[in-house]
Amino acid sequence: MKVSYHGHSVVKIETNGKTIIIDPFITGNPKTDLQASELRVDAILLTHGHGDHVGDTVELAKRNDAVVVAPFELATVLGWQGVKTHPMHIGGAHAFDFGTVKFTLAFHGSSLEDHAAKTLTYTGMPSGILFTAEDKTIYHAGDTALFMDMQLIGSRNSIDVAFLPIGDNFTMGPDDAVLAAEWLKAKRVVPMHYNTFPLIEQDAQAFAGRLAEGVGTVLAPGEAIEL
């Protein structure tokens, strides 16, 4: 399995001959190395409905005939746009041909914004994602605050790589993310959701240095971990 980071909260997983992308905010993302027009994916996993996470989902899904796996309300809204979806919700798991997806708690918001109309479309509860394939488990926390049930997630799952937001302001900052890493007991922790915009600028290397030896792993956009 190959797991790569592509700026902000974009994570790509290549496993069992399939390519899965999480939160594909590509167009308009100043920190990504990807081009949406060149990306080939089999599935898209979404944590919540904000534009910097849904990103290029509709275009990618239609062009690749890819399934979009998302919380029920978000999947419903995207389905109305002609996208093939698989709705799920927090606590639920499903085995796909590319791996098993389980949605976890996250504490944040979730909506699609129409700036022209000045409206917000509610897209259900935000979530994190546990993805399991080839006996490996990836945890993508989505946008979230620190919460005590991260201890439960860590105790019930052997997490090989955890992607945690550290940007602060909208999500956990580095201090809370350090505690989250301890609770999750992941073998490796990769910071995400930072430095995309001035408001969430952070020192990722400093964060990684505060974790247990060998755990903190800073990936530049395009860099990967082989599991």
Distance CA 150, CA 45 (A): 20
Domain assignment of residue 149, yes or no: yes
Domain containing residue 134: CATH number: 3.60.15.10
**Across residues 68-73, what is the average pLDDT?**
98
Per-residue pLDDT tens digits for 76-132: 999 999 999 999 999 999 999 999 999 999 999 999 999 999 999 999 999 999 999
Domain assignment of residue 221, yes or no: no
Domain assignment of residue 15, yes or no: yes
- Tell me what pLDDT residue 57 has: 98
- Tell me what pLDDT residue 76 has: 98
Domain assignment of residue 138, yes or no: yes
Instruction: Provide the domain count of the chain.
Output: 1
Per-residue pLDDT tens digits for 155-185: 999 999 999 999 999 999 999 999 999 999 9
CA 92-94-95 angle, to 5 degrees, is 155
Q: How confident is the model at residue 225 (pLDDT cuts 50, 70, 90)?
A: very high
Per-residue pLDDT tens digits for 31-51: 999 999 999 999 999 999 999
Domain span including residue 187? 2-212
Domain assignment of residue 194, yes or no: yes
Per-residue pLDDT tens digits for 126-153: 999 999 999 999 999 999 999 999 999 9
- Tell me what pLDDT residue 182 has: 98
Domain assignment of residue 198, yes or no: yes
Domain assignment of residue 16, yes or no: yes
